[in-house]
Amino acid sequence: MTRATYADGSLRYLTDCQIDTPLGPIRLKILPDISDSKSVNWQNETIPGRSTPISTFGSSEPRQIQTELYFMITKTADISENLVYLRRIESLAYPENGDANSPYYPPQISHIKCGKLLGDNGVCVI
């Protein structure tokens, strides 16, 4: 069984848990908090002669995945690495420069995988 830290106390990277961005991967040392939700809207249909309505499927909302990432500093090199990761995450919120046909393009899609927590292949995220 692998250990979570090296002999000097610095953290090891988690295997199979990272965010792949267009600027490079964000390798995690601490498990993120991930919440996954999807809601459904039901509609009540009234039927003549029936005292209670029948619920029917109306529509569903988009799937929302929220995550909270933790970055620890156990040695001096972690400071610059964490800043690089922070800048990569911030860059995912901004649109890309466009060309003559469009002033900008939407942000590029990233991929998050953390073991089998989000499925065998992970999920694409914006």
pLDDT reading at 83 higher than 90: yes
Average pLDDT, the chain: 86
How much is the pLDDT for 79? 93
Confidence class of residue 1 from pLDDT cuts 50, 70 and 90? low
DSSP for 29-52, please give it. SSPPEEEEE--EEEEEE--TT-SS
Mean pLDDT along residues 91-113 = 83
CA dist list (Å): 95 to 4, 70, 82, 90, 91: 37, 25, 23, 11, 8
Dihedral sign, Cα of residue 22, residue 24, residue 25, residue 29: negative
- In the three-class reduction of DSSP (H, G, I as helix; E, B as strand; rest coil), residue 99 is classed as coil
- What are the domain boundaries of the chain? 17-37+63-125
pLDDT of residue 85: 93
7-61 pLDDT per residue, tens: 887 888 888 888 999 889 999 988 888 888 889 888 988 888 888 888 888 888 8
Asked if residue 2 has pLDDT above 80, the reply is no
Rounded to whole angstroms, how far apart are CA atoms 72 and 101?
Answer: 43
Give the global pTM.
0.71
